[in-house]
Structure 1
Amino acid sequence: MSSERRQVSLRRGVRTSLRLTAWAAILAAGTAVAFRLPQKSAQTRQEPAELRPVPANLEGLWRFRTDPDDAGERLGWQRPDFRDDDWRQLRVPGGWEAQGITDPRPGMPPKP
């Protein structure tokens, strides 16, 4: 096998390995996200600045309440005019457990 063919074969193997590693990481995390790794470096171009998403800063105090009975949507928690004055405030960044909130359904998987 020529040196050039070995290099092409090696590159294919590395790309396949990277793809499999990415999928394994996604599956291990239990995430329902899919993406395709680029096949060629020409596909890894940068988008123009006006098309790139602008990151949102979510730091600060947020109103928080668990919903173990799935009542939130029915009660209109998503509406802008919903009164959440009696809800706890949590600081972001930070974990809810570290701020004194326990799992309302211990031992159960989180709901989507």
Structure 2
Amino acid sequence: MVLSVPALAADLTPQTAGPFTYVCGGVAEDEQQAMRAEARNYDMGLLMTEGPRGEYLSDVDITLSRGGKQVANFRSTGPRCLIKGPKGTYQVTADYQGNTKRTTLSAGQRNKQLRW
């Protein structure tokens, strides 16, 4: 049996990476509204920005690790990524054009910002 995942407004379709489901977007106003509405269904989130004015970034390579082992990786298609998966604390490695940022992310953290 194949289960279909409903698409969000503004064509934000949930994806999977390892045991995680995620959706990225949030550049245009309609995407931002859709992401805000969908946030309650996800327990973690990242926001990627650049520079002093916090300009939005996409095409960031994201890797989630736990206990030193990679558990998921994906490329963001927008500045905000909503993530749900197994409860726990994860090490996030985010690479944008060869520059790497690291942080930790736990359930309940829906607006963890990475700034280049």
TM-score range, shorter chain: under 0.3
Higher Cα radius of gyration: 1
TM-score, normalization by structure 1 = 0.22
Q: Between Structure 1 and Structure 2, which shows a larger proportion of strand residues?
A: 2
Q: TM-score, normalised by structure 2?
A: 0.21
Highest RCO, 1 vs 2 (Cα 8 Å, sep ≥ 6) = 2
